[in-house]
Amino acid sequence: MNTDRHISPAERHRIARHVTWVGFLVNLVLSLAKIAAGALGRSGAMIADGIHSFSDFVTDAVVLVFIRISSKARDDDHPYGHGKFETFATMLIGATLLAVGAGLIWSAAAKIIAVRQGEVLPRPRYLALAAAAVSILVKEALYRYTAAAGRRIGSGPLTANAWHHRSDALSSVGTLLGIAGAIFLGPRGRILDPLASLAVSLFILGVAWRLTASSVGDLLDKALPRQTEQEISECIASVAGVRSLHNLRTRRSGNDYLIEVHIRVDRTITVVASHDIASRVERAVRQRFGDNTLVTVHVEPDRP
């Protein structure tokens, strides 16, 4: 993730809020258009696809609320900041995607069984086919726009929301295939709709599981990746006066890193000199990993 860790909290909040509002408004227009096209185009799949798009409103609202909370400065009640609210939002979005994916699998399986038992799905009109194509293009563009912003500011909820946009685009792919099969291949080809929906649903479940597992790990104070911890250790060891380090402990709070470390310094220097070394360690880590990084340094004498 190419995150610019030096973006200020205020600017980060502004970017996230703007991107989310764009997605919110696009989803509003697109959902209403898809439902109307489904009704006029005699396509139950398109109506269902439009209803699926409304699930994005839930995630957009969650992102808008929780990113505003997570951008608040540290206070007496939250001395480590409000970043966990952002992680919690990511978990909620992941759980929403899990529910959507499970619901789509259930619906697709029911349609496959019905077709196998002889039920004939209605033939849709070209309006529904055109609406599915437009939906794919719009939602993929929205995914790329949101994902780029999420990578830039290192926002879990924005990244999760981007994948929700893509899940809607992939759902529309299944809808497009089903509608096209129903129009051009006759009654027997209409089973393509639930088969494609089933494949898309499995993909959605995979994305949802990764998002949920990652956010749960952060909420349970899972350590940062080993490569990141190695970079932190190298950064600290490079500070003048640090002879060695140990007991490095790391965790994430939203986009912020929380770091605790013990360093050993020359046992003959003064308390003031030891404090200066610890301060240099804090500055070096913040310069490398962002101004919002919280660093706690415990100084010990270097024993023979």
**pLDDT one-digit tens code per residue, 120-148:** 777 888 998 999 999 999 999 999 999 99
Q: Which of 291, 285, 279 is nearest to 248 (CA)?
A: 285
State residue 59's pLDDT score. 66
Fold for 9-219, please state it.
Alpha-lytic protease prodomain-like (1.20.1510)
Domain 226-301 sits in CATH 3.10.20.30: no
pTM of the model: 0.65
Q: Binning pLDDT at 50, 70 and 90, where does residue 229 land?
A: very high
β-pairing, 244-253 vs 294-301, is unpaired
User: What are the boundaries of each domain within the chain?
Assistant: 9-219, 226-301
pLDDT tens digits for range 15-45: 888 888 898 889 888 988 988 998 898 887 7
State residue 115's pLDDT score. 83
**9-219 against 226-301: fold identical:** no
State residue 4's pLDDT score. 60
Per-chain mean pLDDT for the chain:
84
β-pairing, 256-265 vs 244-253, is antiparallel
Indicate the range of 63-77, 149-163, 199-213 predicted with least confidence: 63-77
